[in-house]
């Protein structure tokens, strides 16, 4: 059986199409060579485990790698107290050393047996201090430096015994000039242990008190670049000879995923296994095209998977996250990126946002669509009059499979003026954007998607890009600021259409002046046709 795109567990280059992560491994090895203790904290399904397993083989010639998975090897019961944890950790440590493929020295074997003896004869006396003394003795006689790697460290994070364990690591790190210690330690998970915030004792307030402040800042890029995605597709193309334009498909995948590893593999997997061979894309060659990609994106957005479920659950668990995501999506307000702000730090830790030129932005286009769907299709929003009007009208706008955007705008103007025309004094500007998206959503649902162009998202202008049945439609939403401002907007939209190789674009202006003139008109700028709608 040939290779596949993998989205579950660890990737294997002999079984799966993968990005070449050798340069990433080399960068991580530099941290290890310097003897750094550090944390690899990235969002869920970001390739952490795959990277750590590849790293183990990458550095095996120079280091003994003690690789643990707290989720598999350290159940919650093991954190009952110091003794229970120390015993469980010691057993796992011994087993890993004894299973190392390269035989350890006699001196090292002797120290390991001393730890085994303590487990047999003085098991109730083995606590963290004693555990680290034995580990120090092993490090002292080892013929190679020892590197400790702990994956899924989140399962232990909210636990005082784990904090005490980190304190011991910190102590040996500081004193390693006098006491032999682990050469390097890597903790991997979603939560940033270095700035851990948790409730560690009954009755305590939440506070930052992690002793992992000796950790080096980890600045290795874990996401895939456009070149990384091209490499995966080149590997795939060698096996399947689809004739795809690798450069353009890689660019498209990156534009929608921003290199989020799970999303990259997932959308490629959908094209390969679901789109290819379907009614509209009977061959692989047809599937690996722009239209095939959009069909795969539609499938991805419409499915229920563990990543999307986790994202939405986080919004329910942390209302402050829901607030920052909502503000970013709907208000057009620039939210300054401040890594010391707890809400921003948390949203970034979960992979929801990123820093673009000092402002907060949703991490990628796919996440943005998922979040929009979450907010716009809530029971409360589906009960709004504008949403109900769209449901009533939805079949009117499809002509031979294509979206009649001009007719959609005409009907939106009518509904908007009927529903909100007499209450503009109470109407927030951002509500205009929200209500148009509420009207648009049920009309294109199931066939198309839309996203907001981040480069033009602000309080006065927002460009919505609609992907519908393989066609791209650009509509600019803006607040009316007078004729001169409107003319500048027309020129900007015309330039934007040139960038997207489109001849026709749309503008929707919200005019809150009492003497406004609503309706639709057509403007010709060069060879571009602009359909302007005013409410």
Q: What mean pLDDT do residues 393-419 have?
A: 92
Q: What mean pLDDT do residues 73-86 have?
A: 87
What's residue 110's pLDDT?
94
Q: What angle do CA 465, 247, 298 make, to 5 degrees?
A: 40
Residue 473 has pLDDT above 80, yes or no: yes
* pLDDT bracket for residue 489 (50, 70, 90): confident
Q: What angle do CA 438, 443, 444 make, to 5 degrees?
A: 100
Q: What mean pLDDT do residues 21-46 have?
A: 95
Comparing 21-35, 173-187, 437-451, the range with the smallest average pLDDT is: 437-451
| Other Cβ atoms within 10 Å of 434 Cβ, number | 19
Residue 74 has pLDDT above 90, yes or no: no
Q: What mean pLDDT do residues 58-75 have?
A: 91
Q: What mean pLDDT do residues 160-169 have?
A: 91
More confident residue, 459 or 471: 471
What's residue 33's pLDDT?
98
Tokens standing for residue 513: 């002046």
Mean per-residue pLDDT of the chain: 89
Indicate the length of the chain as a whole number.
535
What's residue 510's pLDDT?
85
* pLDDT bracket for residue 390 (50, 70, 90): very high
Q: What mean pLDDT do residues 178-187 have?
A: 96
Instruction: Report d(CA 516, CA 503) in Å as an integer.
Output: 28
Residue 458 has pLDDT above 70, yes or no: no
Comparing 37-46, 163-172, 446-455, the range with the smallest average pLDDT is: 446-455
Instruction: Write out pLDDT tens, residues 500-518.
Output: 889 999 999 888 777 778 8
Tokens standing for residue 534: 């005013």
What's residue 499's pLDDT?
85
The pTM assigned to this predicted structure is: 0.89
Residue 459 has pLDDT above 70, yes or no: no
What percentage of the chain has pLDDT greater than the value 90? Answer: 66
Tokens standing for residue 516: 């406004």
Distance of CA 477 to the CA centre of its chain: 27
Characterize the bridge pairing of strands 146-151 and 461-468: unpaired
Check the CA dihedral 177-178-181-187 and report its sign. negative
Residue 532 has pLDDT above 60, yes or no: yes
What's residue 205's pLDDT?
45
Residue 103 has pLDDT above 70, yes or no: no
What's residue 202's pLDDT?
40
Instruction: Write out pLDDT tens, residues 191-243.
Output: 877 655 443 344 444 445 567 889 999 999 999 999 999 999 999 999 999 99
Check the CA dihedral 420-426-428-434 and report its sign. negative
Q: DSSP letters along 121-137, please? A: HSGGG--HHHHHHHHHH
Q: What mean pLDDT do residues 291-295 have?
A: 94
* pLDDT bracket for residue 452 (50, 70, 90): confident
Q: What mean pLDDT do residues 304-316 have?
A: 94
Residue 470 has pLDDT above 60, yes or no: yes
* pLDDT bracket for residue 53 (50, 70, 90): very high
Residue 430 has pLDDT above 90, yes or no: no
What's residue 76's pLDDT?
79
Whether the CB-CB separation of 354 and 339 falls below 8 Å is answered with no
Instruction: Report d(CA 282, CA 288) in Å as an integer.
Output: 11
Tokens standing for residue 266: 């997932």
Instruction: Report d(CA 344, CA 337) in Å as an integer.
Output: 7
Instruction: Write out pLDDT tens, residues 326-346.
Output: 988 887 678 899 988 989 999
What percentage of the chain has pLDDT greater than the value 70? Answer: 92
What's residue 425's pLDDT?
56
What's residue 264's pLDDT?
98
């Amino acid at each position: 059986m040939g290779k596949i795109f993998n989205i579950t567990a660890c990737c294997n280059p002999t079984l799966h199409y993968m990005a070449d992560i050798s340069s990433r491994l080399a960068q991580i090895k530099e941290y290890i060579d310097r003897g750094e203790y550090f944390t690899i904290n990235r969002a869920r399904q970001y390739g952490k485990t795959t990277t750590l397993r590849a790293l183990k083989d990458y550095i095996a010639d120079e280091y003994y790698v003690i690789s643990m998975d707290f989720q598999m090897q350290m159940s919650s019961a093991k954190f009952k107290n110091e003794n229970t944890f120390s015993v469980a950790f010691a057993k796992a440590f011994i087993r890993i050393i004894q299973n190392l493929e390269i035989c350890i020295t006699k001196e090292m074997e002797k120290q390991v047996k001393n730890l085994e003896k303590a487990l047999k004869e003085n098991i109730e006396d083995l606590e963290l201090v004693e555990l680290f003394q034995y580990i120090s003795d092993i490090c002292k006689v080892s013929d190679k430096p020892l590197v400790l790697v702990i994956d899924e460290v989140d399962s232990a994070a909210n636990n005082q015994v784990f904090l005490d364990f980190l304190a011991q690591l910190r102590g040996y790190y500081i004193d390693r000039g006098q006491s032999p210690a682990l050469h390097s330690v890597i903790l991997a998970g979603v939560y940033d242990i270095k700035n851990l915030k948790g409730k560690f004792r009954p009755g305590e307030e939440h506070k930052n008190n992690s002793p992992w402040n000796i950790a080096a800042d980890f600045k290795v890029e874990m996401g895939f670049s456009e070149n990384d995605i091209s490499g995966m597709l080149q590997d795939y193309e060698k096996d399947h000879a689809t004739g795809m334009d690798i450069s353009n498909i890689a660019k498209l995948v990156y534009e929608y995923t921003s290199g989020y590893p799970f999303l990259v593999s997932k959308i490629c997997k959908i094209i390969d296994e679901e789109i290819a061979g379907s009614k509209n894309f009977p061959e692989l060659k047809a599937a690996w095209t722009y239209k095939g990609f959009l069909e795969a994106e539609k499938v991805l957005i419409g499915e229920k998977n563990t990543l999307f479920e986790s994202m939405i659950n986080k919004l329910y668990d942390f209302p402050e996250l829901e607030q920052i995501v909502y503000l970013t999506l709907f208000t057009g307000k620039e939210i300054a990126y401040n890594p010391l702000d707890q809400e921003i730090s948390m949203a970034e830790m979960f992979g929801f946002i990123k820093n673009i030129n000092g402002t907060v932005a949703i991490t990628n286009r796919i996440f943005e669509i998922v979040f929009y769907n979450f907010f716009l299709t809530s029971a409360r929003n589906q009960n709004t009059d504008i949403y109900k009007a769209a449901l009533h009208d939805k079949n009117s706008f499809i002509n031979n499979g294509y979206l009649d955007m001009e007719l959609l705008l005409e009907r939106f103007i009518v509904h908007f003026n009927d529903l909100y025309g007499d209450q503009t004094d109470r109407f927030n500007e951002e509500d205009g954007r929200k209500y148009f998206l509420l009207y648009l959503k049920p009309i294109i649902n199931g066939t198309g998607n839309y996203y907001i162009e981040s480069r033009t998202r602000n309080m006065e202008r927002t460009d919505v890009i609609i992907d519908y049945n393989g066609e791209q439609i650009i509509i600019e939403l803006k607040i009316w600021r007078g004729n001169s401002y409107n003319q500048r907007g027309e020129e900007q939209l015309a330039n934007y259409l040139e960038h997207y190789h489109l001849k026709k674009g749309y503008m929707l202006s919200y005019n809150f002046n009492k003497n406004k003139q609503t309706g639709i008109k057509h403007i010709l700028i060069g060879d571009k046709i602009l359909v302007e709608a005013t409410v």
